[in-house]
Amino acid sequence: MSISFSEYGGDRMNRKIYRRWLIVIFAVYLAAFFYYLSYWIQKAIPDVWRMTAGQEETLDFNIPLTVQTDGVSIPAASINGEKVPSNRIHLNLSQPVSVNIKETGSYKVSVSCMGVRLKNVKVDVVDEIKVMPLGMPVGIYIRTKGVMVLGTGDVTTFEGSRITPAKDILESGDYILEAAEKPVISIDSFTQTLKNWEGGELILKIWRNGQEMNVRITPVRTDDAEYKIGAWIRQDAQGIGTLSYVDADNHFGALGHGITDIDTSQRIDIRDGNLYQSTILSVVKGKNGSPGEMIGNIDYKYGQILGEIKYNSENGIFGTLGDNVNIYDESQALPVGLKYEIKKGAASIRCCVDDEIKDYDIEIESIDMGNFAQNKDMVIRICDEELLSKTNGIIQGMSGSPIIQNGKFIGAVTHVFVEDSTRGYGIFAERMLNENVE
């Protein structure tokens, strides 16, 4: 049997194409492998890892992978009972890892596999922190930074035409800080500036997406002989929430999530605010598809002010209780449980849905160690029959209710699942405690 030159050349060409496809498939497979590997590493290992100095902790990542960590040498550190010999450590993440670092400080560590760097981690070793979990209902009143723009609309001019002066100049979520170089501290102050306007271009200083800027707008004389800019504005916000904790210096944290505007869904930039004593009058039970709520009375009398709200962040509202408000009790304070200490299973929440602050049984169903979902670090389920009979689960106003497990304050309730009122989200306590209220 003989093979012609053309047949042999064609066979060799097919083998080359086949090898190329194998290389392409292997490269795609390898890229996909490292993509999913990186995803699970990102999900299981947070960007910032906090540990308590001198306390042996067991970390259980449950990832079938052996990795290498590189970083600065960590003094007085041991892993699995053995002193760390160098700044290069091999870890089997499929098995629990016991870590003990005795000296406080911040350390940078990189995690790699087969020579590919997957993640950089900052390790913060801190002294034990204690706070007093509260679960106390409070009235919340905040004042915005300037006045908030909700939207723009038409106005009728003195001549009878319809125009929108603020269109393409002001945006929903803007804050008007100054008008004609005069501070805007309330709707009344802004309205007064417009009442005194005599025509022409008006310069507004606004706050937009974290930046100050000036815009020019021409107020129009309307059919009621007043000048208007055609913008809907809002000044203050108020409601009922739960005080999560207070520390020995009277610093408090509440809600576990930021206060957002009901119309724009944006977190409100505040000038200041206050906490007030509040009484729960009644409860509207939650049901699937319709969250319930606490209905309460807020006492706005000056003598009933509990504290000052200093800022409104993604992780809650924070501030300082008044000097005459002596809530903190060292005997009732608990250590703050860091996220790696939290386990799936039994825990409790502390809240007040009638006239008494009580602890109720819950179950922690899942824990997200990554930073993918702001203030949605845990999924919890209410399993306490008494609380279920009162509320059917988590209701509006319970945001901020402290979560306690194994004698430690580990987080706070933040959201309810609209389609299942027995379940909701919680935020890690360390995320809230990381906010600085000084």
Phi (first) and psi of residue 387, to 5 degrees: -70, -40
Count CA within 13 A, CB hemisphere, residue 112.
11
> Which of 244, 377, 384, 421 does the annotation list as catalytic?
384
**Contacts of range 413-416, beta carbons closer than 8 Å, 24 or more positions apart:** 413/242, 413/256, 413/349, 413/351, 413/380, 414/255, 414/256, 414/257, 414/375, 414/376, 415/257, 415/375, 415/376, 416/286, 416/291
Mark whether 399 is an active-site residue: yes
**Contacts of range 290-294, beta carbons closer than 8 Å, 24 or more positions apart:** 290/418, 291/394, 291/395, 291/396, 291/416, 291/418, 291/421, 292/391, 292/392, 292/393, 292/395, 292/396, 292/421, 293/395, 293/396, 293/397, 294/137, 294/240, 294/353, 294/395, 294/396, 294/397, 294/398
> Which of 257, 313, 415, 421 does the annotation list as catalytic?
257
Count CA within 13 A, CB hemisphere, residue 145.
19
Count CA within 13 A, CB hemisphere, residue 434.
17
Question: Any idea how long the chain is?
Answer: 438
> Which of 313, 399, 401, 421 does the annotation list as catalytic?
399
Q: Residue 13 CB: number of other CB atoms within 10 A?
A: 10
Mark whether 384 is an active-site residue: yes
Place of tokens 């000084």: 438
Active-site residue set: 257, 384, 399
